[in-house]
């Protein structure tokens, strides 16, 4: 008999670790298909040569740089070991056992897990029939126990986004002592001008914080840097529960170097967005249902066919991410890799939807 863990640990679902068999085309983790820019790799190497020293505690240089870019005071920015770590820190800082975290479902699967790890409850509100956040239902679902509400915009895994008016109406309905977290991990891929920039809301309201990441648009998923923008009270709460030195020196240097090359980053994101539209139109033409996406991935609500579709694609070399019997999420990758996936999807549709 080993040492017993806390009683509720076994009931908390494990984070699903995507498969990476050698040689497979990886369209299952919303990563960038391109490696970091050469200048970023050089900055990482330079920082690694100082690896005997601890990194800056609060990533001060990166905070200063981001604050200048966003035109907010430095006290408004916290850095984390990926934005996933900031999700956890926010819940830890704001929720005690018995409190509630509210989010849409499906949305990013880490939110309910982190709620339970913190001893809080998670409450989920189904997406609307268009696979979008049902913000009116979410506002209705806020209870006296609710401390944190996540709005993932664009939403993972559906790619759908909410517009400016509906997000503003929603935020206005949320009590001032409930924290609204706008998770904008995929913000840089947004092309619809009606999708709001969460920073504008965070500037106006003390109870709104924004999460962003270098993992997707900047192609630094393996290097681990994300940031939180919010009022100084939110930022100091997030920093208080941080694991000391969790953001390594090479990670801080990589993010700063990536910001020096924002034009290339933007160009890459526009190319991904254009490719997203090409892939979506081919899928629609093949008869598949695919909601419009503002992210670097597409959602196929295949229901009970999700498993057979994912296996069909995997057998043809392209790995996609299946979410139970709800659907499949496919990352927009390199054009030739997307074509492998598209041929599989078209073959699947043409063979009469094998189950």
Element (H, E) at 77: strand 77-80
Q: Whole-angstrom Cα distance, residue 69 to residue 67?
A: 5
CB 296 to ligand PMP: min, Å? 10
Q: How many CB atoms lie within 10 A of CB 169?
A: 12
Residues 6 or more apart from 38 whose CB is under 8 A from it?
Answer: none
Q: Residue 144 Cβ, how far from ligand PMP at the closest point, in Å? A: 27
CA 257 – CA 37 distance, rounded (Å) = 9
In the complex with ligand PMP, the residue whose CB is nearer, 118 or 344, is: 118
Nearest to residue 80, comparing CAs of 255, 265, 199?
A: 255
With CA atoms as reference, report the closest residue to 281 among 293, 270, 268.
Answer: 293
Gap between the Cα atoms of 114 and 178, Å rounded: 17
| Shortest Cβ 307–ligand PMP spacing (Å) | 21
| Shortest distance (Å) from residue 4 CB to ligand PMP | 30
What is the pairing mode between strands 327-331 and 321-323? Answer: antiparallel
Between residues 85 and 207, which has the closer beta carbon with respect to ligand PMP?
Answer: 85
CB of 321 to ligand PMP, least distance (A): 10
Nearer to ligand PMP, 77 or 152 (CB): 152
Max CA-CA distance within the chain?
60
CB of 156 to ligand PMP, least distance (A): 4
Q: Are 12 and 117 in contact (CB under 8 A)?
A: yes
Least separation, in Å, of the C-beta of 141 and ligand PMP?
A: 20
Nearer to ligand PMP among residue 55 and residue 226 (C-beta)? 226
Q: How far is the CB of 171 from ligand PMP (least distance, A)?
A: 18
Query: Residue 266 has what DSSP assignment?
Result: H
Q: Which is nearer to ligand PMP, 217 or 257 (CB)?
A: 217
Find the shortest distance in angstroms from Cβ 154 to ligand PMP: 8
Instruction: Give the residue closest to ligand PMP by C-beta.
Output: 82
* DSSP for residue 210: E
Question: What minimum distance in Å lies between the beta carbon of 318 and ligand PMP?
Answer: 19
Local structure of residue 14 (DSSP, 8 states)? P
Tokens of 104: 């849409």
Whole-number Å distance between alpha carbons of 52 and 60: 19
CB-nearer residue toward ligand PMP: 84 or 279: 84
248: its two tokens: 């390594």
Alpha-helical segments (H) within the chain? 38-48, 60-70, 83-94, 110-117, 135-141, 164-173, 198-204, 232-240, 249-259, 262-285, 306-315, 335-350
Between 94 and 111, name the residue whose CB sits nearer to ligand PMP: 111
Which is closer to ligand PMP, CB of 124 or CB of 308?
124
Nearer to ligand PMP, 29 or 56 (CB): 29
Given the complex with ligand PMP, which of 92 and 348 has the nearer CB atom? 92
Give me the residues that bind ligand PMP (CB under 6 A), please. Answer: 30, 82-84, 108, 152, 156, 183, 185, 213, 215, 221, 226
DSSP-derived secondary structure letter, 241: T
For residues 102 and 148, the answer to whether their CB atoms sit within 8 Å is yes
């Amino acid at each position: 008999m080993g040492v017993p863990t806390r009683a509720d640990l076994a009931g908390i679902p494990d984070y699903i670790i995507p498969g990476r068999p050698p040689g497979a085309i990886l369209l299952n983790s919303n990563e960038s298909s391109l490696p970091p820019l050469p200048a970023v790799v050089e900055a990482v190497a330079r920082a690694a040569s100082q690896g005997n020293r601890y990194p800056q505690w609060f990533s001060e240089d990166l905070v200063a740089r981001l604050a200048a870019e966003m035109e907010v005071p430095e006290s408004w920015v916290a850095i984390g070991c990926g934005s996933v770590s900031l999700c956890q820190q926010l819940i830890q800082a704001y929720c005690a056992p018995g409190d509630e975290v509210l989010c849409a479902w499906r949305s990013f699967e880490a939110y309910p897990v982190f709620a339970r790890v913190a001893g809080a409850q998670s409450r989920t509100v189904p997406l609307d029939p268009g696979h979008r956040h049902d913000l009116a239902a979410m506002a209705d679902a806020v209870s006296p126990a609710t401390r944190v509400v996540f709005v993932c915009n664009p939403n993972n895994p559906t790619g759908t986004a909410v517009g400016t008016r509906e997000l503003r109406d929603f935020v206005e309905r949320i009590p001032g002592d409930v924290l609204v977290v706008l998770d904008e991990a995929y913000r840089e891929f947004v092309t619809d001008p009606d999708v709001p920039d969460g920073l504008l809301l965070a500037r106006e309201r003390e109870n709104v914080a924004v999460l962003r990441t270098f993992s997707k648009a900047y192609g630094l998923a393996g290097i681990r840097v994300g940031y939180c923008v919010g009022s100084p009270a939110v930022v100091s709460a997030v920093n208080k529960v941080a694991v000391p030195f969790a953001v390594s020196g090479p990670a801080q240097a990589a993010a700063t170097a990536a910001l020096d090359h924002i034009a290339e980053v933007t160009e890459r994101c526009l190319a991904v967005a254009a490719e997203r539209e090409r892939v979506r139109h081919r899928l629609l033409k093949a008869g598949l249902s695919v909601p419009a996406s503002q992210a670097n991935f597409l959602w196929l609500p295949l229901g009970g066919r999700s498993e057979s579709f994912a296996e069909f694609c995997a057998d043809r070399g392209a790995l996609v991410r299946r979410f139970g019997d709800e659907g499949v999420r496919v990352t927009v990758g390199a054009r030739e890799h997307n074509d492998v996936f598209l041929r599989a999807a078209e073959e699947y549709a043409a063979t009469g939807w094998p189950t």
